[in-house]
């Protein structure tokens, strides 16, 4: 194979002529006659030949234009006609798949349609059409997937008109499994009923949402519910800050104290601990609540515990919850009691919805780049193409 044949990247071609002017024009023809598409007979005769012009990649700042001599064959055995097929070139298209993929990747990387229309000599509508076709191709490769064994469920805001959407994430492989409009059981019921492989889900990680917990218990019967560590710790801190507001409204406004109160005590420096000790010495009740909160957070951040150690820590954890029940933080204790099993399972499982929250940030950036979405299906296709795809396009 000559160097120019390898540069084309299309097998089965013989280059006849190359003209380098404003653009690179390459004339080529098929290397050999194929077998019949219908009966696989080798006896073919060329009925006619027509010229086909396609755009094919860019060499530096020059566009490569490919002029193909396309034979029309006649099979003498089955008496049928067909035209020569080329790998990487779709029927009735004016550009090769390599060129279309080049435009798609450039537009996905942030190059505007206007810029691509100038550099690649195509219209803005063509850029959008090619982009949408590759997005649909990516999503079609994801069809037929079964539910992952470790599933993360969380909500995120879509639009003011259509409200919230639910994100399902494969936490094991760090991929978005699907995005569904709505967050109530009424809006998700039909989707969850026809979801393939929901019986194979073993672990579901979620925040402290009673709605999602009821749906998980109903539609994922074999799954264990695990509370998300970030949301549990945030709930504890929010309850403590509300109690602080009740006992000392003026101190609650101090941003320096607020920063110290929110952090874990074991992450503070010696100077910060001393400043916090001097303030808490003036509020005995608040001081007791603060150290009880720190002890509770110490239990919540533990993970990767074996069964024996988790059983050993359980009585101490229950005793701490009983102390909260006898304190002004009884509302927090009731919530911890209601979610006791999912919270304790955090000790055994390391997965959390931090992966899901990261995908939510990426979804927000996708929405900003598109200046918002009105059609949820277009939004879903874009999210699955960007966040749920394995990164390989199967070329035609």
Q: What is the pLDDT of residues 365-393, one digit of tens each?
A: 989 888 888 899 889 988 988 888 654 44
Residues 6+ positions from 79 with CB-CB distance below 8 Å: none
- DSSP code for 22: S
pLDDT digits (tens, 9 = 90+) for 259-308: 989 889 889 999 999 999 999 998 888 899 999 999 999 999 998 888 89
Give the model's pLDDT for residue 10: 83
Give the model's pLDDT for residue 42: 87
pLDDT digits (tens, 9 = 90+) for 218-230: 999 999 999 999 9
- Residue 53 confidence (pLDDT) above 80: yes
Read off φ and ψ for residue 62, nearest 5 degrees.
-105, 140
Give the model's pLDDT for residue 396: 33
Do the Cβ atoms of 113 and 131 come closer than 8 Å? no
The whole-number average pLDDT for the span 123-134 is 89
The whole-number average pLDDT for the span 316-328 is 91
The Cα–Cα gap between 135 and 114 comes to 20
Report the chain's mean pLDDT, rounded to a whole number.
Answer: 88
Contacts 24+ apart (CB under 8 A), 366-375: 369/110, 372/159, 373/158, 373/159, 374/159
Determine if residue 155 is left, alpha or beta; phi over 0 gives left, psi from -120 to 50 gives alpha, anything else beta.
beta
- Residue 185 confidence (pLDDT) above 50: yes
Tell me the pairing of strands 163-170 and 150-159.
antiparallel
* pTM as predicted: 0.72
Give the model's pLDDT for residue 4: 52
| N-term to C-term CA, the chain | 23
- Residue 5 confidence (pLDDT) above 80: no
Confidence of residue 334 (pLDDT cuts 50, 70, 90): very high
Residues 6+ positions from 82 with CB-CB distance below 8 Å: 36, 37, 38, 72, 73, 75
Do the Cβ atoms of 95 and 79 come closer than 8 Å? no
Half-sphere exposure of 95 (CA within 13 A, CB side): 21
Among 116-120, 168-172, 343-347, the least confident range = 116-120
């Amino acid at each position: 194979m000559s160097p120019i044949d390898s540069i084309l990247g299309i097998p089965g071609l013989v280059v006849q002529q190359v003209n380098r002017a404003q653009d690179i024009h390459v004339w080529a023809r098929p290397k050999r006659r194929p077998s019949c598409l219908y009966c696989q007979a080798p006896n073919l005769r060329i009925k006619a030949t027509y010229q086909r012009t396609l755009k094919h990649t860019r060499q530096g700042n020059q566009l490569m234009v490919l002029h193909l001599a396309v034979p029309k064959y006649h099979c003498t055995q089955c008496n049928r006609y067909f035209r020569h097929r080329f790998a990487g070139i779709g029927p009735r298209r004016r550009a090769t798949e390599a060129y279309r993929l080049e435009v798609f990747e450039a537009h996905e990387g942030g190059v505007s349609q206007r810029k691509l229309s100038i550099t690649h000599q195509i219209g803005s509508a063509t850029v959008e059409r090619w982009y949408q076709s590759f997005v649909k191709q990516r999503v079609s490769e994801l069809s037929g997937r079964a539910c992952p064994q470790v599933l993360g469920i969380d909500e995120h805001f879509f639009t003011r008109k259509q409200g919230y959407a639910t994100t399902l994430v494969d936490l094991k492989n760090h991929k978005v499994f699907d995005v569904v409009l709505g967050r109530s059981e009424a809006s998700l019921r039909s989707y969850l009923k026809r979801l393939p492989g929901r019986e194979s889900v073993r672990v579901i990680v979620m925040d402290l949402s009673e709605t999602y917990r009821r749906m998980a218990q109903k539609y994922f019967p074999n799954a264990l519910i695990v509370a998300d560590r970030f949301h549990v710790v945030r709930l504890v801190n929010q309850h403590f800050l509300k109690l602080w507001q009740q006992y000392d409204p003026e101190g609650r406004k101090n941003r320096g104290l607020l920063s110290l109160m929110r952090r874990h005590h074991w992450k503070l420096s010696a100077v910060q601990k001393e400043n916090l000790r001097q303030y808490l010495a003036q509020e005995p009740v608040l001081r007791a609540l603060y150290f009880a909160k720190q002890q509770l957070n110490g239990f919540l951040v533990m993970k990767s515990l074996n069964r024996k150690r988790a059983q050993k820590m359980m009585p101490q954890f229950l005793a701490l919850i009983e102390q909260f029940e006898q304190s002004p933080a009884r509302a927090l204790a009731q919530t911890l009691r209601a979610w006791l099993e999912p919270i304790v399972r955090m000790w055994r499982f390391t997965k959390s919805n931090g992966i899901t929250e990261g995908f939510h940030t990426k979804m927000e950036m996708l929405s900003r780049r598109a200046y918002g979405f009105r059609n949820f299906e277009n939004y879903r296709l874009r999210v699955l193409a960007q966040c749920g795809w394995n990164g390989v396009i199967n070329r035609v």
